[in-house]
A and B are shown apart, each in its own frame.
Chain A
Amino acid sequence: MTKKKLLLILCGLSLPLQSMFAARLEVCPSCSYQTIHSALENASDGDQIIIKSGLYREGNIQVTKSVHLLGEGWPVLDGEGQTEILTITARHVLIEGLEIRNVGNSYIEDRAGIRLRNTRFCTIRNNRLVNTFFGIYLEHSADCVISGNEVLGEALEENSSGNAIHCWYCQRLTIRDNQVYRHRDGIYFEFVDNSQIFGNTSKDNLRYGLHFMFSNDDYYYENRFIQNGAGVAVMFSKCIDMDHNIFASNWGRASYGLLLKELTDTDIRNNSFRENTIGIYVEGCSRIDYHHNEFKQNGWALKMSGGCLDNHLQENNFIGNSFDLSTLASAGTENTFDNNYWSEYSGYDLDHNGEGDIPYLPMKLFNQIVQQTPEALILLRSLFIDLLNFSEKVSPVFTPENIRDLHPKMNPYTLNIRS
């Protein structure tokens, strides 16, 4: 058994022991402790501090002992727009049931509602953070769980707003079942490895619902990304697995469901992309498998720009998108499209094996024209364009023939997708 595992087990064993001897310190206007500060001063490792409902204006609170801070009846910790509120530097801290609000914007420091710095084994669960600039900020921390929190921001502009859950240089985090609204980024990962994100809802964020930078080996699933600037952005990362997520209504002039940039070795499956301006935008990515995803009623289902190698699209449903694909002619030789269902496909299936007998070319002539002359989009859905596409389909001259699906399905797949 490795040292690490042994350590983990010992830690696990020590937790119940601690709570057996733990003292309960109650904080309320009529209790023995009137302030959280005084309770923390008198607490020792493993104690429980129960904060009763009420309004606490105590400025910044440093948590340097391994205590549990438990709120009863939603006590409010108000920063009055001046300071960061909870700063946690001890291990094994649990924060639960608090309402934290009004941290106040700052252009100089990244203030947060709850900050975890150089710590491990902390749990932040079922809290409510309102207008906290940065909601929950983790730096140089590991093995922490952030779950069931509701982080409501009031972001108006990108440059004067923070992220709801911000993680920087972290390891093995679990971020689950949180609701993050109206921040710059819903969840932000920079240099965060081996972490899991699931069951979260990220909505109305100005920039991205979820943002990965330089993070590897992470896994996110069963999340919803709705009405963000872009649903999820994954940049300069490796091995970020994505499944069963919903990317919906990320609709606007520069909006994406999923934005991939310099990402490698990834599996994207069972996701649903609905009504986004661009379903997936791919730039400089290699060795990515997209399978069993649903692309429904997007402007562009998939936009692939230069430098993409070994992207394989298989067994996806493309239904009712204005454009199925936009890419460069060279993309066809290095990436594959096979066995997908395309609602635009109008071929036939004489041998009734469920596959169309003629290949489907997702790059239509008009897609190509729009790529070169974006203004031409003004002719979308005009009779002339339909005629143009039709004649090009009958005898392809301009469209790249190597971008094609040789086995287009006649009927859509029944996919295991969350609704």
Chain B
Amino acid sequence: MLKIFRFYFFDLIRSRWTVLYALFYLLLTSALLLLSPNLSKVIISLMNIVLFLVPLIASMLGIMYFYSSRDFIELLLAQPLRRSTIFFGQYLSIVGSLGLSLLLGIGIPFLLYGILSSAEIWNYLVLLGTGLMLTFIFSGIAFWIALKHENRIKGFGLMILCWLFFAVIYDGLFLLGLSWFNDYPLEKFALGASLFNPIDLSRILILLKLDIAALMGFTGAVFSKFLGSGLGMLISMASLLLWVGFPIWRIRAISLKKDF
């Protein structure tokens, strides 16, 4: 598996897209840091971009890479290798290269800025952590869809729909739900609903760290009490990990059975 991982990984980090992706973050973060003196504002701006772009790029690059390396997968399958080894090697290399781009792109400017000695270090780590988690989740989903659908158009369409659902549609439905059931106490509902969308969950985790909780009045109190407690942290972490684990489990199940 290590060999396959290494092969794919080096293939990927040499590819134009990964380099471009890293450069984009590098430029963006440096520009934001130069333009705004307030570190927590930079983190908020970066959060908007990370929550928007990371899932999109992870899903698009993930699905593209899988489809384009299909011939090579068939070649590998002909070798005496375990299927899970092949697919996990590939998944990990995608996640690894995207994660590395993100880490370097956002990490280097902040390191040069002196984040390590700043009070915002935890907020920054939460941003980075959720960014990585989102990379894991959406590359996984992309892989799962690509494995399931031979038809590339269908695969791409589904992936875009999936991203659109989590990034936009889910929040719309969420908001509709909130305004329909306006007369009821909605804190628990809002809390539960946010666990089912990794993008929402990441956003709330970052926002609560950035002390926006106070704006939310009672709802904010419920949220920060829940997510600030050990159990809440555990549940939200577990929820994110489940989001990572679920596509992996599906990839494994399909890859073992699939007739190539």
Contacts and interface: CB of A to CB of B under 8 A. Distances in A.
Interface stretch (A237-245, A250-258, A287-295): A250-258
B211 A251 contact: yes
A279 to B, nearest CB: 12
A374 B218 contact: yes
Contacts of A251: 211, 214
Contact of A384 (B41, B168, B182, B215): B168
Given A372-B182, A378-B194, A378-B216, A383 B167 contact: yes
Nearest to A385: B171
Contact of B215 (A372, A377, A379, A387): A377
A384 B214 contact: no
B125 interface: no
A383 B47 contact: no
B220 A376 contact: no
A372 B211 CA distance: 23
B179 A372 contact: yes
B118 interface: no
A373 B219 CA distance: 10
Interface string B198-231: 0110011001000110111111110100000000
B207 A380 contact: yes
A253 B44 contact: no
Given A299-B214, A373-B178, A378 B219 contact: yes
B172 interface: yes
Contacts of A299: 212, 214-215
B168 A381 contact: no
Nearest to B211: A251
A369 B182 contact: no
A381 B179 contact: no
B64 interface: no
A373 B182 contact: yes
Nearest to B169: A384
Interface in B163-205: 167-169, 171-172, 174-175, 178-179, 182, 186-187, 190, 194, 199-200, 203-204
Nearest to B194: A378
Given A251-B211, A369-B179, A381 B47 contact: yes
B172 A378 contact: no
Contacts of A382: 51, 171, 199-200, 203
Contacts, number: 81
Interface residues of A, number: 27
A336 interface: no
B93 to A, nearest CB: 29
Nearest to B44: A381
B47 A374 contact: no
Interface in A358-408: 369, 372-385, 387
Task: Classify chain B's interface size.
Answer: 35 or more
B48 interface: yes
Nearest to B170: A384
Contacts of B199: 382
A381 B48 contact: yes
Contact of B217 (A374, A379, A384): A374
A1 B239 CA distance: 81
B10 interface: no
Given A375-B186, A379-B171, A253 B220 contact: yes
B180 to A, nearest CB: 10
Given A373-B178, A375-B190, A387-B168, A253 B41 contact: no
Q: Of residues A277, A375, A380, which shows the largest number of chain B Cβ atoms within 10 Å of its Cβ?
A: A375
A380 B215 contact: yes
Contacts of A254: 217
A273 to B, nearest CB: 15
B203 A381 contact: yes
Interface string B22-51: 000000000000000000010010011001
A81 interface: no
B17 interface: no
B171 A252 contact: no
Interface of A: 251-255, 277, 297, 299-300, 320, 322, 369, 372-385, 387
18 contacts: A253-B220, A255-B214, A299-B214, A300-B215, A373-B179, A374-B217, A375-B190, A376-B178, A379-B175, A380-B212, A380-B215, A381-B44, A382-B51, A382-B200, A383-B52, A384-B169, A384-B171, A385-B171
Task: Please provide the 3 A-B residue pairs with the shortest distance between their CB atoms, ordered closest to farther.
Answer: A384-B171, A299-B215, A375-B186
Given A378-B204, A380-B216, A383-B51, 12 more contacts: A253-B217, A277-B215, A373-B178, A375-B186, A376-B175, A376-B178, A378-B223, A379-B171, A381-B44, A381-B48, A382-B199, A383-B171
